[in-house]
Amino acid sequence: QVQLQESGPGLVKPSETLSLTCVVSGYSISSDYYWGWIRQPPGKGLEWIGTIHHQSGGTYYNPSLKSRVTISVDTSKNQFSLNLRSVTAADTAVYYCARPKHILTGNDAFDIWGQGTMVTVSS
Amino acid sequence: EIVLTQSPATLSLSPGERATLSCRASQSVSIYLAWYQQRPGQAPRLLIYDASNRATGIPARFSGSGSGTDFTLSISSLEPEDFALYYCQQRNNWPLTFGGGTKVEIK
């Protein structure tokens, strides 16, 4: 059974970098699936952040965040990471990692989700 | 970017009633639309993908239809656990986008 678990600091100061990790269990991150990040500000809707594929190196980012986002994969730890630079209060949200439903498909629905981790941007 | 507009924002119904949720896209997304359910404090759960395909383990009372720009999620007979938030998401174009959500609440 594939499981995803996010981890990282729950509080980040404005202008600093938000760094989160998603540990994947029950499946090799080096496989043919893409892996993604989605966020949800308190009381608001869902926003796709970006998606990565380890084998091809293909990475897709939301244009609204592209200048500040980096997603990477660490195969040795079977995990992938999100770095969001120069954060402001508007980046306060629950951050989810997720896996698309179909193999070799980056632009897809997400059928496996982590439980989410709340990150607050505040001094 | 494709904008998804969900309506109504809130749907007040009683258990056993039928729910009909709408998602309209700003341009055609073919059949590449998904629906999710989100209960308070939980991650979204995939219900329907590619407009009409139920995801694994999703009860038959959930059904999806539509193509192009207009899509519908139907719940044939509401169970207590179905009162939740519902989101649509398109995968036809980058960036992936979600609708603003419909809350199904107990009347």
pLDDT tens-digit readout, B34-62: 999 999 999 999 999 999 999 999 999 99
Contacts of B14 (CB under 8 A, 6+ apart): B78, B106, B107
Nearest CB to A114; choose among B32, B43, B46:
B43
Q: How many Å apart are CA B68 and CA B33, to the nearest integer?
A: 9
Q: Give mean pLDDT, residues B72-83.
A: 98
CB contact at 8 A, B30 and B92: yes
DSSP state letter for B96:
P
Q: How many Å apart are CA B78 and CA B13, to the nearest integer?
A: 8
pLDDT tens-digit readout, A64-120: 999 999 999 999 999 999 999 999 999 999 999 999 998 888 889 999 999 999 999
The residue of chain A with its CA nearest to that of B43 is A115
Q: How many Å apart are CA B40 and CA B11, to the nearest integer?
A: 16
Tokens read off for B99: 């609708």
Determine the distance in angstroms separating the CA of A35 from the nearest CA of chain B, rounded to an integer.
13
* Residues in A touching B98 (Cβ below 8 Å): 45-48
pLDDT at A104: 85
Buried b (16+ CB within 10 A) or exposed e, A29-46: beeebbbbbbbbeeeebb
User: pLDDT band at B24, cuts 50/70/90?
Assistant: very high
pLDDT at B52: 98
Contact B44 A115 (CB under 8 A): no
Q: Is A77 on the interface with B (CB under 8 A)?
A: no
What 3-state class would DSSP assign to B27? coil
DSSP state letter for A77:
G
Least confidently predicted of A3-12, A57-66, B47-56, B64-73? A57-66
* Res. B21: pLDDT tops 80: yes
- A86 phi-psi bin (left φ>0, alpha ψ -120 to 50, beta other): left
* Residues in A touching B43 (Cβ below 8 Å): 96, 113-116
CA B24 vs CA A9, B27, B70, B71, B78: distances in Å: 37, 9, 5, 6, 23
User: pLDDT band at B15, cuts 50/70/90?
Assistant: very high
Determine the distance in angstroms separating the CA of A50 from the nearest CA of chain B, rounded to an integer.
8
Q: What rounded mean pLDDT belongs to chain A? A: 95
pLDDT at A56: 79
CB contact at 8 A, B74 and B18: yes
